[in-house]
């Protein structure tokens, strides 16, 4: 797998979730939500796609149970 496909930048993550970076920041700082923290690569933050996918699955399962 190409290493460029393993990570998302901040703007790509905002686009994925259709929200602002401030919302992403709040999610990262909410321990109950469990949003993945970005990795620092060089001087840039990168979100690991596999961790975002796992978060999506957990979050989807939680919201389906609550509904």
39, 35, 37: which is closest to 56 by C-alpha?
A: 35
Contact, 52 vs 19, CB < 8 A? Answer: no
* C-alpha to C-alpha distance for 67 and 56, rounded to whole angstroms: 16
Say whether pLDDT at 28 is over 90.
yes
Average pLDDT along the chain: 89
Comparing 27-31, 54-58, 59-63, which segment has the lowest mean pLDDT?
Answer: 59-63
For 32-58, the pLDDT digits (tens) are 999 999 999 999 999 999 999 999 999
Say whether pLDDT at 14 is over 60.
yes
Task: Report, as an integer, the average pLDDT of 17-44.
Answer: 96
Predicted TM-score of the model (pTM): 0.81
Instruction: Write the DSSP string, 38-63.
Output: PEEETTEEEEEHHHHHHHHHHHHHHH
* C-alpha to C-alpha distance for 67 and 54, rounded to whole angstroms: 20
């Amino acid at each position: 797998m190409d290493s460029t496909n393993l990570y998302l930048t901040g703007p790509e993550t905002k686009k994925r979730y259709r929200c602002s970076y401030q919302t992403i920041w709040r999610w990262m700082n909410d321990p109950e939500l469990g949003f993945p923290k970005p990795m620092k690569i060089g001087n840039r933050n990168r979100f690991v796609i596999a961790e975002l996918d796992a978060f999506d699955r957990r979050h989807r399962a939680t919201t389906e149970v609550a509904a």
